[in-house]
């Protein structure tokens, strides 16, 4: 999910960044190119073990706030699958032949059925974002 990240830099300091949608999540990096990875790590650390994190809002929601006047905005794709680790049981229906093919594939790749379905969903969604 794309989260707005507010970035600021004082002369002689690292880039500092915060997520308005995720109060308390701050990060910093000396190199702007490292900021995205640092942002993901900060969110993971803050929400470790949590079942859910707040959804993202748009930059427009925050851009006119006095609190965010001296920096610039970035959109950061936070991989929420690395945060929301609590499994949820669900009931789905699939054609029997597809379920068989999934089980064969998952076993051949040392995955569980749930692990395979989760990985397949993440792969499809990440391609959609890109």
Distance CA 47, CA 49 (A): 6
CATH topology of domain 2-82: Double Stranded RNA Binding Domain (3.30.160)
Q: Where are the domains of the chain?
A: 2-82, 96-129
Q: Tens digits of per-residue pLDDT, 32-88?
A: 999 999 999 999 999 887 777 899 999 999 988 998 888 999 999 998 878 866 777
pLDDT (0 to 100) of residue 1: 87
Mean per-residue pLDDT over the chain, rounded = 89
pLDDT above 60: residue 130 = no
pLDDT (0 to 100) of residue 129: 61
DSSP string for 15-84: EEEE-TTSTT-EEEESSGGGHHHHHHHHHHHHTTT-S--PPP--GGGTTT-GGGSSSEEEEEE--GGGT-
pLDDT (0 to 100) of residue 92: 93
């Amino acid at each position: 999910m794309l989260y707005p990240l507010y970035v600021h830099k004082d002369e002689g300091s690292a880039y500092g960044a915060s997520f308005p949608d995720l109060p308390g999540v701050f990060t910093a990096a000396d190199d702007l190119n490292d900021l995205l990875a640092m942002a993901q790590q900060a969110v993971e650390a803050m929400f470790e073990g949590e079942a859910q994190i707040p959804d993202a809002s748009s930059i427009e929601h925050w851009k006119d706030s006095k609190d965010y006047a001296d920096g610039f905005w970035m959109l950061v794709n936070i991989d929420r699958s690395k945060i929301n680790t609590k499994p949820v049981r669900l009931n789905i229906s699939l054609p029997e032949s597809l379920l068989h093919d999934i089980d064969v594939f998952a076993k051949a790749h040392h995955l569980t059925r749930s692990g395979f379905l989760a990985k397949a969903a993440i792969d499809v969604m990440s391609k959609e974002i890109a």
